[in-house]
Amino acid sequence: MQTNIKFISADEAVKYVKSGDHIHFSSVASAPKVLIDALCRRGDAGELKNVFIHHLHTEGDAPYTEARYEGVFFHQAFFVGGNVRKNVQAGYADYIPIFLSETQKLYRSGALPCDVAMIQVSPVDKHGYVSLGTSVDATLAGIECAKVVIAVVNKHVPRAFGDALIPASKIDYFVEDNTPLMPAHFGQPNEIETAIGINCANLIEDGATLQMGIGAIPNAVLAQLGNHKNLGIHTEMFADGVLPLVEKGVINGANKKLDKGKMVSTFLMGSQTCYDFIDDNPMVAMMDVGYTNDPYIIAQNPKVTAINSALQVDLTGQVCADSLGTKFYSGVGGQIDFTYGASLSEGGKAIIAMPSVTNKGVSKIAPVLTEGAGVVTTRNHIHWFVTEYGAVDLYGKSLQERAKLIISVAHPDHREALDRAAFERFGPHFHFIG
């Protein structure tokens, strides 16, 4: 049992990184900033070259993606977060397209090496365990496969249960840093987002198991669920929006067949209140992403309702969620994992929800996707499509039928143009459909 551990400095710890190594960083609020800064100091000193860096979305600065480190660090993330987006689009950083469920498989299959895992953990408990807290995702696989594991021990990392608990003996070097985890705050939903939230909430049945991401639309949906009963959570992540529903007893997991009574997630991004919520909380199971995002695991719960967003949707139901034309904006993430998993669930509903127009009034529903746009959810996978103007079920609908339905929830200012485009694509008989 490893309870008395020896700490070294961050600068000492990163000396175990060699040129050509592949490094995994823990994700989101658990990004090991003190190690990242020390690693960059080695880069500045000219001590490293061709070091590959992998991670999911991270909060905080990502200096290793900057132009000055070209030839020193080669960033290849599994998701394009806001802190790396500009440099990915400029070509100084890069992205590996991958289903979130398979990020762990990259390491475990050997498709991607992992020489060094840099993680952040809670203090060692009396049983010799630490917790990965807010970031299990692909980090657990990184730990299993890495030749060297370096952990930042931070008293602010919550002691989460599930796969998050690992023996301290799996860690080679310990660094102490008690900087509070970086919180994420989300504004109140606006009128459009609230309307989308209402339309989505109307599709959620009592006893449903929910998956939804972060941001204004998920929060708007959650705000409408106060009168629901026996909701469960099986998701890739959650944030503060679920907490009032837990306190009210709306979210209790009573209807789940798998992990009954537990909220299952693989990472978190929220306020300190959210991080405190999972600390020593047996109701929350922070699990490996290969478990949370496996469509066949997801499908074992009844009435799985998955709500994901999009950047653009075309008239046939193709969903672009990762790029603006040729410029990568985010990533595949778990959208397909949960869209497919929900569609296999008994009574499940897969929902794509988005505002009908951009902030500049441009229609996000387009006759065809912008050149270079990536299709994340195919026209074969899409079921429910929701905007502030309503919800339509595209499952089992022909191309012409779904074009009619999609246009019906477009912004009124753009419906005529979209109708004309559909007419040109499908011919004059289009107007006799529906």
Strand spans (E) along 116-221: 116-121, 129-131, 148-153, 161-162, 165-167, 173-176, 209-212
102 flagged as catalytic:
no
Strands 304-308 and 209-212: parallel
Active-site residue (options: 59, 66, 102, 236): 236
The one-letter amino acid at 22: H
Start-to-end CA distance of the chain, whole Å, equals 68
Dihedral of the CA atoms 386, 220, 265, 334 (nearest 10)?
30
Reported residue count of the chain is: 434
Q: How many angstroms separate the CA atoms of 131 and 135, rounded?
A: 9
**Contact yes or no for 264/285 (Cβ under 8 A):** yes
Q: Looking only at Cα atoms, what is the longest distance across the chain?
A: 77
Token pair, residue 277, equals 């919520």
**Contact yes or no for 306/341 (Cβ under 8 A):** yes
186 burial (CB, 10 Å; 0-12 / 13-18 / 19+) is: middle
Ramachandran region, residue 91 (left: φ > 0; alpha: ψ -120 to 50; beta: rest): left
Q: How many angstroms separate the CA atoms of 136 and 110, rounded?
A: 19
Q: What residues are annotated to the active site?
A: 236
